[in-house]
Amino acid sequence: MKIYQKQIKLPAFKRGFHLVTSYIENEFEQLRNIDQGLLQVFIQHTSASLTINENADPSVRTDFASHFNQMVPEDAPYYQHTMEGPDDMPAHLKASLLDSGLIIPITRGRLNLGTWQGIYLCEHRDNGGSRKIVLTAIGE
Amino acid sequence: MKIYQKQIKLPAFKRGFHLVTSYIENEFEQLRNIDQGLLQVFIQHTSASLTINENADPSVRTDFASHFNQMVPEDAPYYQHTMEGPDDMPAHLKASLLDSGLIIPITRGRLNLGTWQGIYLCEHRDNGGSRKIVLTAIGE
Amino acid sequence: MKIYQKQIKLPAFKRGFHLVTSYIENEFEQLRNIDQGLLQVFIQHTSASLTINENADPSVRTDFASHFNQMVPEDAPYYQHTMEGPDDMPAHLKASLLDSGLIIPITRGRLNLGTWQGIYLCEHRDNGGSRKIVLTAIGE
């Protein structure tokens, strides 16, 4: 059994939902040494998050942004945590509705995603900057 | 330390929330060889998902369907991804609000779920068909 | 490679969102024996859940409570599962919108959380009582 761990930084993305599957695969070559295992992708932030969804049509990512902006609005009358700007409290809520950590099976050295699955970086701040990710792979 | 991995297909379920705990336990006998460990259940789709919730009263699963249909409606005016039918974009959103991958502790060869916990297959399409699941168990 | 597993009980918390990071770290000393690995925190209940979010300003946790109460209201007209009180069905829905199990990287014997990240116990019942947690750490 082997374990590999690496911290990476994603480039800064604008607010919205962004496909980062190939970025992660390329940054973590050790994946190829694992025949059967699991990869965890963990984001060390509370105003950006991760999810797995459709990797083909960009309009899916646009609709994610529209729906999350409607479901978790800025300036809700009950927000008390408003000092860091109108996009901050919605960003925290969206982060928890999606995921801080994804686990993906590894099979024969590759992520065993379904045909239409990709990893999304969900950037909930207007100016979130570069985001730190911890990658951990375990298997044999 | 041991690792086991297996792909299975769930039978087709109609749109809604369905208990599949015993189906998964029965399909993956190797669980019984693990005294302490973790099981991952991963769904290789973006319009169906997984969650853990109440395993006793079927009205909980009915209320899940009602609430998710209300929280993520069909035909929202801001959807652009509409070519695959009115149930498609809501299915993608519901899939990310729930989980693509569950992790459950394994203790003495069994899933260490709470008394009232069961695994739900969350089928968000009207005709989703059979769904592919990757099971990975690690432990000793 | 090592694996450690332990069941703990959290003290009873009132309905709302509560920081429990240090409680979990203190209860699970074996974490310090792992140089690289993963910790799973699993809650064995369907009306309380877990998430990772901002660890500094308590108003973030207050706003989580306000937003989840608004997004998943009591007494929705379509609820059928009402026998266990008005806070029960919303508790099940909130539990699945958040997480039953968190995975956190372990690095050099410590949880490798971001600077502002903490573990929240999300108590969705008015009188949920003490909650059972299974901790599993794997690594080397």
Mutate: best of B21, B51, B67, B112, partner C, most C CBs <10 A: B67
Q: What is the pLDDT of residue C82?
A: 96
B-chain CB neighbours of A140 within 8 Å are: 3
Give B113-132 pLDDT, tens digit per residue: 999 999 999 999 999 999 99
Q: What is the pLDDT of residue A117?
A: 98
Q: Is A108 on the interface with B (CB under 8 A)?
A: no
Please give the residue of chain C at the shortest CA–CA distance from B2: C1
Two structure tokens written together for A132 = 């730190």
Is the backbone of residue B27 left (phi > 0), alpha (psi -120 to 50) or beta? alpha
Give C77-104 pLDDT, tens digit per residue: 999 999 999 999 999 999 999 999 999 9
How far is residue C44's CA from residue B22's CA, in Å, rounded to a whole number? 17
Q: What is the pLDDT of residue A51?
A: 98
Give C43-82 pLDDT, tens digit per residue: 999 999 999 999 999 999 999 999 999 999 999 999 999 9
Give B20-33 pLDDT, tens digit per residue: 999 999 999 999 99
Q: What is the pLDDT of residue C25?
A: 95
Q: What is the pLDDT of residue B109?
A: 97
Q: Is C101 on the interface with B (CB under 8 A)?
A: yes
Q: Which residues pair with C8 in a beta bridge?
A: C133
Q: What is the DSSP letter of A84?
A: T
| ipTM of this complex | 0.97
Counted across chains A and C, CB pairs separated by less than 8 A come out at: 92
Two structure tokens written together for C140 = 């080397």
Q: What is the pLDDT of residue B124?
A: 98
User: Mind telling me how many Å the CA of A92 is from chain C's nearest CA?
Assistant: 7
User: Mind telling me how many Å the CA of A80 is from chain C's nearest CA?
Assistant: 6
Give C106-122 pLDDT, tens digit per residue: 999 999 999 999 999 99
Task: Find the CB nearest B93 among A1, A67, A105.
Answer: A67
Please give the residue of chain B at the shortest CA–CA distance from C43: B114
Burial of B76 (0-12, 13-18, 19+ CB in 10 A): middle
Q: What is the pLDDT of residue C71?
A: 98
Give A72-120 pLDDT, tens digit per residue: 999 999 999 999 999 999 999 999 999 999 999 999 999 999 999 999 9
Cα angle value C47/A91/B84 (rounded, 5°): 80
Q: Which residues pair with B3 in a beta bridge?
A: B138
Mean pLDDT for chain B overall: 98
Q: Tell me what the mean pLDDT of segment A23-52 comes to.
A: 97
**Residue B131, CA distances (Å) to A51, A74, A91, A133, B14 in order:** 19, 37, 32, 30, 12
Q: Tell me what the mean pLDDT of segment A126-138 comes to.
A: 98
Band of the pLDDT at A24, cuts 50, 70, 90? very high
* The pTM of the whole model exceeds 0.80: yes
Counted across chains A and B, CB pairs separated by less than 8 A come out at: 92
Q: Is A93 on the interface with B (CB under 8 A)?
A: no
Task: Find the CB nearest C81 among B38, B52, B63.
Answer: B63
Identify the helix (H) or strand (E) that includes residue B58: helix B58-71
Q: What is the pLDDT of residue C49?
A: 98
Band of the pLDDT at C39, cuts 50, 70, 90? very high
C-chain CB neighbours of A42 within 8 Å are: 103-105, 112
Cα angle value B27/B111/C85 (rounded, 5°): 115
User: Mind telling me how many Å the CA of A121 is from chain B's nearest CA?
Assistant: 12
Q: What is the pLDDT of residue B69?
A: 98
